[in-house]
Amino acid sequence: MPVLSSKNIEEIEGSLGYQFSNKKILIKSLTHKSYFHEHPNNADAYNERLEFLGDSILGAVIAEAFFLDKRLFSEADMSKMKSYLVNESVLFELATMLSLGKYLRLGKGEESTGGRQKRSILSDAVEALLGAVFIDSGYETTKAVILGLFGDRLENVILSKEGHDFKSELQEKCQGIFGVLPDYRIVKQEGEEHRKVFTSEVYIKNELYGSGAGKSKKEAQMAAAKEALERLLDK
């Protein structure tokens, strides 16, 4: 892909929820060093510097979200949750959601060895893209983009209190193993209005796989997802 077309750029911006003022910085964020070395006349830089910047901004946004949360997490809890959210696996999921693989500018060698599907290249591209947003717009806009991308993942990790998003993991495993999504059902709620406890069950193909309780529906679903994952691992 020698250049990114206007249509490609619009597609990326639509998925990202952000429109670039400087389209060149977007293109740079998706330019791998293999392309740069093979096509020096078509690229004045590649994305590693933007990747470094994006990694730092991403870490700051996630750390700020945990720090400002009313639950006042300890340093150890924040570190554990942050490590989970900014790891390669989660970034690869985001890259897949954004379909970044088809937009990357890769050299022929990297292209021939499946570079568009490589976890490391795609996760790096997400960080580079966030770095490009920061250069184009500043911290507050980049923070909004990041929080939009991470969506429920951030809250799910907080609810799990273990630095892990059990609901997202169960969804991925269900789609991979069974080809369906898990079905959560709130089966009980007890207690006074301000002290309610919810019980959730999760079904896969109408079979009960896990149950759990929590102070909110989401927390109960997270506990149910954790139990379901443990059962899947035992199979």
Do residues 130 and 92 share a domain? Answer: yes
| pLDDT, tens digit, 9 for 90 and up, residues 130-182 | 999 999 999 999 999 999 999 888 988 888 767 788 898 898 889 889 999 99
At 194, the pLDDT band (50, 70, 90 cuts) reads confident
Nearest residue to 171 via CA among 160, 183, 161, 182: 182
- In a shared domain, residues 19 and 131: yes
Residue 159 belongs to a domain: no
Identity at 189, one-letter amino acid code: Q
Range from 41-45, 79-83, 120-124 that averages highest in pLDDT: 120-124
pLDDT at 3: 56
152 is an active site residue: no
The answer as to whether 108 is a domain residue is yes
Q: How many CA atoms lie within 13 A of 29 on its CB side?
A: 32
Indicate whether 161 belongs to any domain: no
175 and 138 share one domain: no
13 catalytic per annotation: no
Q: What is the pLDDT of residue 133?
A: 98
In the block, tokens 């997202």 appear at 168
pTM over 0.85: no
In tens, the pLDDT along 8-20 reads 999 999 999 999 9
Active site residue: 51, 124, 127, 169, which one?
127
Same domain for 55 and 171, yes or no, is no
Of the candidates 51, 55, 110, 165, the residue annotated as catalytic is 55
Q: For tokens 């990202």, what's the residue?
A: 16
